Amino acid sequence: MKIYEKAPAKINLLLDVLRKREDGYHEVEMIMTMVDLADRLEMEELPRDTIIISSQVGYIPLDEKNLAFQAARLIKERYDVRKGVYIHLDKKIPVAAGLAGGSSDAAATLRGLNRLWGLGISEDELCDLGAELGSDVPFCVKGGTAIARGRGEKLEHIDHPPQCWVVLAKPPINVSTADVYGKLRANELKEHPSIANMRDALARGSFQDMCSGLGNVLENVTLELYPEVLQLKESMLRLGADGVLMSGSGPTVFGLVSKEAKLPRIYNGLRGFCKEVYVVRMLT
Ligand SMILES: C[C@@](CO)(OP(=O)(O)O)[C@H](O)COP(=O)(O)OP(=O)(O)OC[C@H]1O[C@@H](n2ccc(N)nc2=O)[C@H](O)[C@@H]1O
Ligand SMILES: Nc1ncnc2c1ncn2[C@@H]1O[C@H](COP(=O)(O)OP(=O)(O)O)[C@@H](O)[C@H]1O
């Protein structure tokens, strides 16, 4: 039997860091939501007790470094499953982009293998397993729109954003999340974006207030390392996006757009100097 799972990308409408913790992670407050750009996973049981990963792209690891591999190994160990699985990753989400592609693949693997092997694991338990794989995996297990606290694993679901277009542009650089957090001076942050205002904007369905409430304290760190990300932000605004922000640790920049008629100008303008541009919808 073959089963399929979609693994959508996330964006951070808001990302605040409260402090650095003793364990090296940062205490965060984020508002995350999913967009309609997804990897597609195909999973099939194998007669041998092994995990095999394949993908149509050549630039991700296919061994135990792959987060889908780690998710399959974890679920097999924890639930004593002595069966094998073949997982094909049809990658559509840009890699190391701040869009949680790997985390979403891990989450989709947990959901998929729970189904394939009829394990009856609850969604909350899948989230706990996911937290062992990465801070963003629990959110990717549940999806929706949520405030994520702790190191990202404590979730509170909130209202979805008002429907709009999301333009994603990824410059040709790979950003390491650990590097960006490592360079952040969390105790010296002067300004913090307001979770309360953003939550309120979503509750009221106010597109305008959502755009003006966007904020990400990791942005300045990545902008300093890669000035082209700032150029991308400025171009998106100039071309007519209503609100613009870097997602996660970057380097992908997203623009929120309410009017479809604005899209061709923004898309064509960005494609002039950035190969990876996607126009998608919020996944509500
Ligand atoms: C920044 C965010 C925002 O959504 O996303 P991305 O840019 O990676 O998509 C996340 O916080 C990333 O989550 P994720 O990519 O799952 O991170 P992990 O694998 O758990 O951690 C990678 C490294 O980032 C740092 N890290 C991560 C999360 C956190 N709350 N504090 C940290 O300091 C740690 O140095 C850790 O070793
Ligand atoms: N299934 C996967 N898809 C993409 N990248 C993966 C996967 N498994 C492991 N990786 C590795 O994880 C790193 C981060 O990738 P990704 O999750 O796409 O980025 P981000 O953390 O910025 O959202 C990359 O360096 C990549 O080599």
pLDDT, mean of residues 165-182: 96
Q: Is 229 part of any known ligand binding site?
A: no
Check residue 151 and give its pLDDT: 98
Spell out the domains of the chain, with CATH numbers in brackets.
2-157 (3.30.230.10), 165-281 (3.30.70.890)
Nearest-10 crossing angle of helices 101-116, 67-78: 30
What's the confidence (pLDDT) of residue 284? 83
Q: What is the band of 1 on the pLDDT scale with cuts at 50, 70, 90?
A: confident
The residue whose CB lies within 8 Å of the most ligand 1 atoms, and thus the one to mutate among 26, 95, 177, is 177
Mean pLDDT of the chain: 97
Residue 249 to residue 220: CA distance in whole angstroms: 10
Nearest to 93 by CA among 107, 105, 106: 105
Res 124: pLDDT = 98
Give yes or no for residue 103 CB within 6 A of ligand 1: yes
How many other C-beta atoms are found inside a 10 Å radius of the C-beta of residue 118? 6
Q: Give per-residue pLDDT as tens, 14-34.
A: 999 999 999 999 999 999 999
pLDDT at residue 252 tops 90: yes
Is residue 159 among the annotated active site residues?
A: no
Write the residue with the smallest CA distance to atom 18 of ligand 1.
134
What would the pLDDT profile of 64-123 be if each residue is shown by its tens digit?
999 999 999 999 999 999 999 999 999 999 999 999 999 999 999 999 999 999 999 999
Q: Is the pLDDT of residue 13 over 90?
A: yes
What is the ipTM for the molecules in this complex? 0.98
Q: Whose CA is nearest to atom 5 of ligand 2?
A: 102
DSSP class of 161: P
Single pTM value for the model: 0.98
Give the residue from 256, 253, 87, 71 showing the smallest Cα distance to 175: 253
pLDDT at 261 over 90: yes
DSSP annotation of 284 reads -
Q: How far apart are CA 129 and CA 132, in angstroms?
A: 5
Residue the block writes with tokens 């190391």: 96
Predicted pLDDT at 200: 98
